[in-house]
Amino acid sequence: MSVAARTCAISLSEIAMLRRYRLSRTTQALVQYFVPKLLPMSDYAVEALNIVRTFKDGEILALNDVTLQVPRGEVFGLLGPNGSGKTTMIRILSTILKPTSGTASVNGFDVTEHPQSVRRSIGLAGQFATVDENLTGFENLRMVGLLNHMEKSRVVKRSHELLERFGLSGAANRTCKTYSGGMRRRLDLAAALVANPPLLFLDEPTTGLDPQSRQDLWSIIEGLVEEGTSVLLTTQYLEEADRLAKQLVVLNHGKIIAEGTSDQLKARLGNTVLSLSFATTDDARRGAELIQHVSTKPANVEGTVVDITVESGPASAAEALRRIDGSGITVVGLSLREPSLDDVFLSLTGHKVEDTDTPTTVEDAKGRRARKARS
């Protein structure tokens, strides 16, 4: 902790002691408002250690020993399919749920011991827009500001600033039931920013948006980060994670299976992905068997397409064609490309990121640990 942080830090026990001296309500209010802003902060916006969360009296294991450190001033991505535990993690960090075990702090506040301080320091935009469709865009933002106990004059000014920034000024006085899906998502994100929080939780913010609306929202998020906002983003869109997130954690069945930058994760696969297209699914299956030894990585067959990660693209492509030649199988297409996060996830899990996972039971987790120990 820096000298400045130690100097300005006031413990919660000291606040309680100040209250015993019958300070005026105004003074107490000032203490309660400013002290959270003076508490020492680490280099991380989020620090979560060994988080476990179970449901149904311990039968369902949603998070299994998850540890995260989210640096300040950047986008940190939680990547995984439906059911992997992403939203459960966001709910714990935003104090909606309590962890079954483990500890977590957000902006320096323990999520269990000081939930109110956590809530005052974050913004949250969930998977679906939560705006009131019977209110106008301006009225929605004003309501959020007043619920955050902001001064009315400041709320009005902040609401208009955000409407302008998110391209909604022209629709500010229209009821939200007339908004498109992209407009509602932009307004939802604006609502999360009314109190100007240093940390923003975005839980699959572009779900259901068309490509242009998704691109628009990505640009807004990038602008927020340039201004110093920290973002914890959950997504199952690999393109989104690749573009926005500086650091990534991959979740599957509630457990971290990989972490690093996008480039680091891709580098685990090799230099190039060789993709071969065949006339039929049977030809694709037979072709995969013939080219398997071209790489140390297993080939993936999806329909009539076979993807295999190789170290030397052109040489491996030539070798694959030589192995297939004379087998009676027709290759209808061939391409070489860089690995994508989709390839990474498929290699790590055996299925694509958009595939829905079934809940993991505690017994499933024990079985996986036992198999891993035997291997």
Between the CA of residue 363 and those of 58, 242, 370, what are the distances in Å?
10, 34, 11
The yes-or-no verdict on residue 295 having pLDDT over 80 is yes
Q: What are phi and psi of 176, to 5 degrees?
A: -70, -15
pLDDT at residue 24 in the model: 56
CA distance 316 to 322: 10
Give the chain's mean pLDDT.
83
pLDDT at 9 over 60: no
Q: What is the pLDDT of residues 222-261, one digit of tens each?
A: 999 999 999 999 988 888 988 999 999 999 999 999 999 9
The answer to whether 138 touches 160, Cβ cutoff 8 Å, is: yes
Please state the separation of Cα 262 from the chain's center in Å.
14
Q: Please tell me whether residue 199 adopts helix, strand or coil conformation.
A: strand
Residue 353's pLDDT band (boundaries 50, 70, 90)?
low
Q: What is the reported pLDDT for 17?
A: 44
Q: Is the pLDDT of residue 355 over 60?
A: no
Residue 237 pLDDT: 84
- For CA atoms 230, 236, 237, 242, the dihedral sign is positive
Between 145 and 35, the higher pLDDT residue? 145
Q: Tell me the Ramachandran region of residue 219: left when phi exceeds 0, alpha when psi lies from -120 to 50, beta otherwise.
A: alpha
Which amino acid belongs to residue 202?
L
The predicted pLDDT at position 310 comes to 86
Task: Give per-residue pLDDT as tens, 83-139.
Answer: 889 999 999 999 999 999 999 999 999 999 999 999 999 999 977 768 899 999 999
For position 270, what pLDDT does the model report? 67
DSSP state of 344: H
Helix (H, G, I), strand (E, B) or coil at 346: helix
- Amino acid found at 279: A
pLDDT tens readout for residues 167-217: 999 999 999 999 998 899 899 999 999 999 999 999 988 888 888 888 888
At residue 5, the pLDDT reads 37
- Domain annotation for the chain: domains and CATH numbers: 3-38 (no CATH), 44-265 (3.40.50.300), 270-338 (3.30.70)
CA pair distance 58, 53, nearest whole angstrom: 8
Q: Report which of 5, 105, 9, 3 is spatially closest to residue 51, judged by C-alpha positions.
A: 105
More confident residue, 347 or 181: 181
First to last CA, the chain: 43
Q: What pTM does this model have?
A: 0.73
